[in-house]
Amino acid sequence: MADVNRGKRPLSPFMIGPHYRPQITSVMSIANRITGVFMTLGAVMIVWWFAAAATGPESFARADGFLTHWFIVIFIWLPLLLSFWYHFVNGMRHLMWDTGYGMTLPDVYTSGYITLAATALLSLFTLVFALF
Amino acid sequence: MSQQNTDFRTPRARAAGLGSAKDGVHHWWNQRVTAIALIPLGILFVFPFVNALGQPHAEVIEIYQSPWNAIVAVLFLGVTALHLQQGLQVVIEDYVHSKPLLTAALLVNIGFCWVLGLVGVFAVLRIALAG
């Protein structure tokens, strides 16, 4: 029987949500990409900070005043910190998969939960390190 | 599929280089190289950095005048720029479907990442070598 919806069916990334229950596998996969793209902003902020510090005290004061404003710290640096460790740990998960290990569904779930726990712990540790 | 072949090249020669990946595993491999390099560099960079962020100018200069911190920062910013270029390229290739727009986006990406990396490396070196 001919498929009447052929060519009109929703395709992969747009399946998640309205047509397909979000799962740790798909959500963690797209999260790797989202955190990576988001950290482009972090790279720009870090380079701006270094460039301002290299230029002199006046330009550093200007950059520092913006970059260490509480609003930026809470809504940009904190998500950047979580993104950094998530992308870091999940990247190592990908490197493990590249060697052929951990490809079964139970293993993928186990490494997924380990990645989330490690992200939380490393972020918390870094935060404590930064504040004290 | 009986198309008249007016081309003297073989079908194999016409197809070469037009596959989905176009350049084999070269890009994939390079992305793994920078990813693996960023495991130690990320750890070594992030802790002095979160310590330095928010400190006064003189303290920041002192931290990055340490040769160790400066070398780590130079390597981290350089390799990060490469990894960023490789990662953003894959995202662009996946989501930009118009050929002219794709070419333009890939060129902008390469330029952006190189400028970002070189400005970062230059800034750290200037701090470290200012004496």
A87-97 pLDDT per residue, tens? 999 999 999 99
We report the CATH number of the domain holding residue B70 as 1.20.1300.10
Give how many domains chain A has, as a whole number: 1
Q: Which of A44, A54, A77 sits opposite B116 (nearest CB)?
A: A44
Q: How far apart are CA A73 and CA A123, in angstroms?
A: 14
The encoded tokens of residue B108 equal 């902008």
- For residue B88, being part of any structural domain is answered with yes
Q: Number of Cβ pairs closer than 8 Å across A and B?
A: 82
| Confidence at residue B20, expressed as pLDDT on a 0 to 100 scale | 58
Q: Cβ B47–A126 below 8 Å, yes or no?
A: yes
- For residue B15, being part of any structural domain is answered with no
- For residue A93, being part of any structural domain is answered with yes
| Confidence at residue B79, expressed as pLDDT on a 0 to 100 scale | 98
Q: Kindly state the percentage of chain B with pLDDT values over 90.
A: 77
Q: Measured between CA atoms, how close is A43 to chain B, in angstroms?
A: 8
Residue range B39-58, pLDDT digits in tens = 999 999 999 999 999 999 99
CB A85 within 8 A of CB B81: no
Domain residues for the domain of B68 are 21-129
ipTM: 0.88
Within 10 angstroms of residue B75's Cβ, the number of other Cβ atoms is 18
Give how many domains chain B has, as a whole number: 1
- For residue B110, being part of any structural domain is answered with yes
- For residue B89, being part of any structural domain is answered with yes
Which residue from A64, A71, A33 is spatially nearest to A46, judged by alpha carbons? A64
Q: Measured between beta carbons, which residues in chain B are less than 8 angstroms from residue A95?
A: 32, 35-36
Q: Which residues, including other chains, have CB under 8 Å from residue A40's CB and lie 6 or more apart?
A: B84, B88
Q: Is the pLDDT of residue A132 over 90?
A: no
- b/e per residue A56-81 (b: at least 16 CB within 10 A): eeeebeebbeebeeeeebeebbeebb
Q: Which of A36, A51, A130 sits opposite B119 (nearest CB)?
A: A51
